[in-house]
């Protein structure tokens, strides 16, 4: 026998939905503001009074949108989960006079009101309709058994009380507040509402949609900085547009304050040669990042980047603490769709681009969330593959979303390249002297934390193994530097960087659950320290035949060259003469390898069909024996005077040490790392546009 | 602990100090090693074909380089040492970069290691950070247990080495080790060559003299080796678990070929040689298969295409050695594809062998004993043998021929 039944939702289901779908009060208010946006409002006024006393408190949200009539209220508003807005959008029947696409397409906004209070009055008026009035006491849902047992009465007012003079709109009054608000919550709401609209100019301005916030607790908002006051403190600004697999538009501006008299403004655009070379977006494995694989559309990325150094801030910011607090609370990269915020990207708890972790790798060169206020602008029509989660906590993490993440990170890294150069200038003229951190004791602390926190034996062994290596190498570097007064090497920048990384790492390890991610960070650090300890270890010099050292370097990367189908032209084998110099074998091989490693990357990046590296040796340069390494790739993507500085790299995820170490090695040998022009040496025509690097050694006679 | 005792262990590390303790452990266990730093000029011109164990550091002058370069360098050094020929070897990591081992295995795809073990270098140090020989030895023993059946090959190779050593010791001590030793032994080598080659020994050819003198050791060597293995007492029974498994025909055929066929042979008429394409009466294929078992005409046609006529030189070895042979005794047959092995005629004049792998195909040898024939020296003068069957198999076939020729015909009534 077959019997049919139906679901009978309990009345309290509505209360549960409200509680669980809307994470906090801040999101609840934002949802209500989004409803106003959908209703074509140009302004939404939010008023909060006596909110520290739930019984007395009142929250009023009032907009000047198109309002609702009896029909919409009954058939849409009272039907939770209604797909009314979504259908309108999908069918292209958007009636909005501004052509806005609904933000609240999930039909869950009304629960937001319940998140805030137990009693709601809703007054709305649509053009040429009567004002309607609805009151809901949510507590009655607790008492009744089934939803159908709770009657909702709607009154049609023959004479408008709230929307007079043919005005339209919706007003929601919330009483019997569910929480007692404090000043931190209000400041948070204020901040959130202010960030609802993009701080920058999106593609299509949302037709002057604005949010007014008013409260009787004015003292609670005292001292809060506003965006318009803050944005002028940003020293670096960028606007980029990305589409398909390229950065289509790029504008970077360095705007030092007037007090920084030694510095000048500069602007870089997509016409800049270096920017042109870096337009194609790739990930760290040189794989293309292509937005056109998905419906993501053209993406605009804007960034305001700040400097938080106390000494720097003293040059132009009066309320240093205020600015820092503002950046702490508002910093991050937000996402806006058609000019309205997609939560909760850019909120303090949502580091969706992993900027924090990325920074730990190279603290001074990477921008963290509390240094940037950025906005990613999407166009709703073109970005259908980015699907928002029902609970308003960002996009579903699909491939399209991951591609967007990679594209933004790539673009940010290109901005960083220019920002780092300017930052360095600021530091040169106005920066503090780096102070030393007690590294070894920090490592010991780290070891203890790992010992206590990590239960997994293998993971513990792995992390401890890396820490041990870091400690050994670091101790070696420090001791050697002390003993030999640097052995002619300028490593102070690097040592400082290592110290900072360890300090930051310690913070992360203390804060986070230890995971494979921590392992990768420790590993990274260990590689960095290893790179430098090498520099000091291999200093024993002997007379070596440079040709044999080139042979060895090519042999070392033979498998890699084969995998990348790179043909090496060994021109040096044809050269006759004495090519022996006094040098540290491993360091020179390492230097050649660093250059070949760069070539391998850039040949791939440049999509060169027949990839070639040309290596020759020459005694032409007076007093020098020179190894010349050239590729037929796109050439250097940054000024050659910059690329030898530590931690400067145009490669995504590049540590930026290879050429710096090479330069140090050459100088320690009394030689030079050079970047000659094509024509200075005999190099075939096909290598004209490639990168040309020369390792110039002083001849033995000159060495003596 | 089973480690090769005859120099097929390689240690690769760019820093001698790092391997000093490891070398001490190996020396203590009578293991000679070849040591390489990874410097290109110091690597062998031609790769070794019999390396069994490589102790490996993955930091060969590539400090500070990306992992890809460390891996590429190490794989390059290994390839220079072992080449691309497939042979079983273990890699035992002696490095702090053990996480890169898999990357190396990927690059060595043409000749990958049987197993990658890890000595966990950092765990072989004492509290002061110095390597401890005891710890290395202990860890090595523990890791080598994972090598399983590979040990049996090492044990056998060690027996071979020891047996050869015994023969050298015995033969060299027939004369007292004084100033005349060299002169005296010279005479012994001449006699050995003569004894081995008999009348075949060409006069005045010193190279042939040396070869035959060395060949003369083989017989006693095999006996010594057999004795050594039979007297093997401390057998670790765990090395051969009771897991017989199912061995595919392909593997059976390969093993048989390795045991009973010789492919790299000199161009000379020797008993056991197998020839293709010679002018002689061939075995008749129609008589080699069982007509009843052939299902279709197509099968017969297919079989005809796949079988190949062969001729086996079955002259007695003593005739050959003593240069007494006047004719080639040749037994015609075919190589028969494994797919049709059930179709072979089971008559008593048909000789059928086990499976063999020849030119990448699996075959059986099928001979028709009734077609035994003789050929003149001229008939085979310009013919190059394709391969040779080993003495044991030849004797088996010769005895079958003898049995067939000698079978008594009994007259009786049923």
Residues of B (26-65) whose Cβ lies below 8 Å from A:
39-41, 60-65
CB nearest B39 (choices: A552, A557, A560): A552
CB nearest A557 (choices: B64, B72, B122): B72
Select, from the ranges A94-103, A509-518, B393-402, the one with the highest average predicted confidence (pLDDT). B393-402
Span between the terminal Cα atoms of chain A, in Å: 106
B65 CA: distance to closest CA in chain A (Å): 7
Looking at chain A, the whole-number percentage of residues with pLDDT higher than 90 is 33
* A653 close to B (CB below 8 A): no
Give the pLDDT confidence score for residue A436 in this predicted structure: 45
pLDDT in tens, A60-73: 999 999 898 888 88
pLDDT in tens, A369-391: 889 999 999 988 889 999 887 66
Q: Chain A: residue nearest B61 by CA?
A: A586
Is B274 a residue whose pLDDT tops 70? yes
B148 CA: distance to closest CA in chain A (Å): 25
**Is ipTM beyond 0.95?**
no
Is B407 a residue whose pLDDT tops 50? yes
Give the pLDDT confidence score for residue A435 in this predicted structure: 46
* A538 close to B (CB below 8 A): yes
Total residue count of chain B as it appears in this document: 414
Q: What is the CATH number of domain B9-147?
A: 3.40.50
pLDDT in tens, A26-52: 778 888 888 888 788 888 999 999 999
Tell me the chain A residues in contact with residue B37 when contact means C-beta distances shorter than 8 Å: none
Helix, strand, coil % (nearest 5) of chain B? 45, 15, 35
Give the pLDDT confidence score for residue A106 in this predicted structure: 52
B25 CA: distance to closest CA in chain A (Å): 24
- Whether residue B73 and residue A557 make contact (CB cut-off 8 A), yes or no, is yes
CB nearest B72 (choices: A560, A585, A586): A560
Give the pLDDT confidence score for residue A485 in this predicted structure: 39
The three-point CA angle B136-B140-B144 to 5° equals: 175
- Whether residue B76 and residue A559 make contact (CB cut-off 8 A), yes or no, is yes
Tally: H helices and E strands in chain A: 23, 21
Tell me the chain B residues in contact with residue A586 when contact means C-beta distances shorter than 8 Å: 61, 63
Query: Is the preceding peptide bond at A344 cis, omega within 30 degrees of 0?
Result: yes
Helices (H), A39-122: 70-72, 84-90, 110-116
Average per-residue pLDDT for chain A:
82
The full DSSP string for B31-61 is: --EEEE---GGGS-SS--S---EEEE-S-SS
pLDDT in tens, A187-222: 888 877 777 666 554 444 445 677 888 899 888 887
Distance CA A546, CA A544 (A): 6
A489 CA: distance to closest CA in chain B (Å): 16
A663 versus A631: the higher-pLDDT residue is: A631
Distance CA A367, CA A412 (A): 9
Give the pLDDT confidence score for residue B6 in this predicted structure: 67
Average per-residue pLDDT for chain B:
86
The answer to whether B389 and B312 are in contact (CB under 8 A) is yes
Mean pLDDT (whole number) for A656-663: 84
Give the pLDDT confidence score for residue B122 in this predicted structure: 75
Distance CA A91, CA A72 (A): 18
Give the pLDDT confidence score for residue A597 in this predicted structure: 93
The three-point CA angle B129-B134-B140 to 5° equals: 100
Query: For chain B, which residues make up each domain, given as ranges?
Result: 9-147, 174-239, 249-406
Give the pLDDT confidence score for residue A481 in this predicted structure: 55
Looking at chain A, the whole-number percentage of residues with pLDDT higher than 70 is 83
Select from A263, A249, A341 the least CA-distant residue to A299. Answer: A249
pLDDT in tens, A407-457: 999 999 999 999 988 988 888 888 765 444 456 666 777 777 777 777 777
Phi, psi of A140 (to 5 degrees): -65, -20
Q: Is the pTM of this model over 0.80?
A: no
The b/e string for B202-233 (b: 16+ C-beta within 10 A; e otherwise) is: eeeeeeebeebbeebbeeeeeebbeeeeeeee
* A619 close to B (CB below 8 A): no
Give the pLDDT confidence score for residue A440 in this predicted structure: 66
Q: Structure tokens of A243?
A: 């589409």
Residue A190 has, within 13 A of its CA and on its CB side, a CA count of 23
How do beta strands A372-378 and A332-337 pair? parallel
Is A490 a residue whose pLDDT tops 70? no
Sheet containing strand B115-118, strands side by side:
B33-36, B9-12, B53-56, B90-93, B115-118
């Amino acid at each position: 026998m077959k019997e049919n039944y139906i679901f009978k939702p309990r009345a309290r289901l509505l209360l549960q939905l409200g509680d669980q779908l809307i994470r906090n009060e801040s999101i609840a208010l934002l949802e209500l503001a989004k409803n106003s946006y959908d209703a074509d409002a140009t302004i939404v006024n939010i008023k909060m009074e006596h909110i520290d006393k739930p019984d007395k408190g009142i929250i009023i949200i009032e907009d000047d949108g198109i309002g609702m009539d009896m029909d919409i209220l009954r058939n849409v508003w009272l039907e939770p989960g209604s797909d009314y807005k979504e259908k309108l959008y999908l069918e292209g029947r958007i009636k909005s006079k501004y052509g806005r696409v609904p933000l609240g397409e999930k039909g869950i906004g009304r629960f937001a009101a319940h998140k805030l209070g137990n009693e709601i009055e809703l007054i709305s008026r649509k053009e040429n309709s009567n004002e309607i009035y609805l009151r809901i006491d949510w507590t009655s849902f607790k008492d009744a058994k089934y939803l159908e047992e709770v009657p909702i009465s709607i009154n049609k007012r023959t004479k408008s009380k709230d929307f007079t003079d043919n005005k339209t709109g919706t007003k929601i009054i919330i009483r019997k507040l569910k929480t007692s608000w404090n000043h931190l919550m209000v400041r948070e709401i204020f901040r959130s509402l202010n960030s609802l609209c993009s701080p920058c100019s999106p593609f299509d301005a949302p037709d002057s949609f604005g949010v007014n916030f008013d409260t009787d607790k004015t003292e609670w908002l005292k001292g809060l900085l506003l965006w318009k006051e803050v944005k002028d403190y940003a020293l670096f600004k960028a606007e980029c547009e990305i589409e398909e697999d390229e950065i289509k538009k790029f504008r970077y501006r360095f705007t030092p304050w007037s007090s920084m008299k030694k510095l000048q403004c500069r602007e870089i655009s997509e016409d800049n040669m270096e920017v042109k070379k870096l337009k194609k977006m790739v990930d760290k494995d040189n794989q293309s990042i292509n937005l056109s694989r998905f419906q993501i559309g053209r993406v605009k990325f804007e960034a305001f980047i700040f400097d938080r150094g106390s000494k720097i801030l003293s040059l132009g910011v009066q309320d240093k603490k205020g600015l820092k607090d503002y950046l702490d609370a508002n910093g991050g990269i937000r996402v806006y769709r058609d000019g309205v915020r997609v939560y909760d990207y850019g909120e303090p708890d949502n580091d969706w681009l992993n900027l924090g972790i990325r920074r730990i790798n190279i603290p001074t060169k990477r921008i963290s969330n509390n240094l940037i206020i950025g906005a990613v602008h999407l166009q709703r029509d073109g970005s259908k593959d980015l699907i928002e989660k029902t609970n308003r906590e960002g996009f579903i993490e699909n491939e399209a979303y991951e591609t967007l993440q990679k594209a933004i990170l790539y673009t940010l890294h290109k901005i960083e390249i220019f920002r780092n150069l300017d930052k360095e200038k600021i530091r040169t003229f106005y920066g503090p002297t780096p102070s030393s951190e007690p590294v070894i004791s920090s490592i010991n602390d780290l070891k203890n934390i790992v010992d206590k926190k990590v239960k997994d034996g293998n993971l513990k062994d792995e992390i401890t193994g890396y820490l041990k290596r870091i400690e050994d190498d670091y101790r070696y570097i420090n001791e050697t530097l002390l003993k030999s007064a640097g052995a002619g090497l300028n490593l102070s920048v690097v040592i400082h960087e290592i110290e900072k990384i360890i300090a930051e790492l310690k913070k992360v390890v203390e804060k986070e659950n230890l995971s494979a991610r921590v392992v990768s960070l420790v590993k990274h650090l260990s590689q960095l320290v290893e790179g430098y300890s090498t520099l000091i270890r291999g200093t024993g010099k002997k007379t070596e035949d440079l040709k044999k050292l080139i042979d060895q370097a090519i042999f070392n990367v033979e498998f890699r060259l084969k995998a990348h189908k790179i043909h090496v032209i060994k021109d040096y084998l044809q050269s006759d003469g004495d090519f022996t110099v006094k040098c540290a074998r491993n360091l020179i091989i390492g230097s050649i390898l660093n250059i070949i490693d760069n070539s391998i990357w850039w040949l791939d990046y440049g999509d060169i069909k027949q990839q070639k590296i040309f290596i020759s040796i020459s005694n032409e340069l007076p007093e020098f024996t020179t190894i010349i390494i050239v590729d037929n790739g796109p050439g250097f993507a940054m000024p050659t005077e910059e690329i030898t500085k530590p931690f400067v790299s145009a490669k995504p995820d590049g540590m930026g040490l290879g050429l710096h170490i090479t330069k140090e090695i050459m100088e320690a040998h009394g030689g030079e790392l050079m970047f000659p022009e094509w024509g200075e040496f005999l190099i075939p025509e096909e290598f004209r546009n490639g990168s040309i690097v020369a390792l110039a050694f002083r001849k033995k006679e000159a060495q003596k | 602990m089973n480690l090769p005792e005859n120099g097929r262990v390689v240690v690769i590390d760019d820093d001698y100090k790092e391997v000093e303790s490891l070398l001490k452990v190996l020396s203590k266990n009578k293991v000679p090693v070849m040591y390489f730093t990874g410097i290109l000029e110091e690597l062998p011109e031609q790769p070794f074909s019999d390396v069994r164990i490589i102790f490996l550091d993955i930091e060969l002058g590539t400090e500070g380089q990306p992992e890809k370069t460390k891996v590429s360098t190490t794989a390059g050094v290994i390839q220079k040492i072992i080449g691309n020929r497939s042979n079983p070897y273990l890699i035992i990591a002696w490095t702090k970069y053990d996480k890169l081992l898999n990357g190396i295995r990927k690059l060595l795809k043409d000749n990958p290691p049987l197993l990658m073990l890890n000595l966990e270098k950092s765990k072989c140090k004492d509290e002061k950070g110095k390597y401890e020989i005891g710890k290395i030895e202990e860890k090595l023993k523990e890791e080598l247990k994972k090598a399983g059946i590979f040990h049996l090959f090492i044990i056998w190779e060690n027996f071979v080495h020891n047996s050869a050593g015994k023969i050298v010791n015995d033969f060299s001590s027939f004369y007292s080790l004084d100033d005349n030793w060299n002169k005296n032994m010279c005479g012994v080598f001449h006699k050995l060559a003569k004894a081995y080659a008999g009348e075949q020994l060409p006069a005045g050819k010193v190279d042939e003299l040396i070869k035959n003198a060395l060949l003369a050791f083989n017989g006693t060597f095999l006996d010594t080796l057999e004795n050594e293995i039979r007297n093997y007492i401390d057998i670790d029974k765990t090395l051969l678990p009771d897991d017989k498994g199912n061995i595919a025909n392909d593997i059976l055929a390969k093993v048989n070929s390795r045991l009973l066929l010789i492919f790299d042979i000199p161009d000379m008429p020797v008993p056991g040689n197998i020839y293709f394409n010679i002018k002689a009466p061939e075995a008749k294929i129609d008589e080699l298969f069982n007509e009843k078992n052939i299902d279709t005409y197509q099968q017969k046609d297919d079989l005809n295409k796949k079988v190949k006529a062969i001729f086996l030189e079955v002259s007695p070895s003593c005739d050959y050695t003593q240069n007494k042979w006047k004719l080639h005794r040749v037994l015609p047959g075919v190589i028969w594809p494994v797919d049709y092995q059930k179709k072979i005629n089971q008559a008593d004049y048909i000789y059928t062998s086990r499976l063999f792998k020849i030119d990448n195909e699996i075959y059986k040898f099928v001979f028709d004993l009734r077609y035994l024939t003789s050929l003149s020296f001229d008939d085979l003068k310009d013919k190059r043998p394709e391969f040779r069957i080993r003495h044991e198999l030849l004797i088996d076939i010769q005895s079958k021929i003898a049995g067939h020729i000698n079978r008594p015909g009994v007259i009786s009534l049923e």
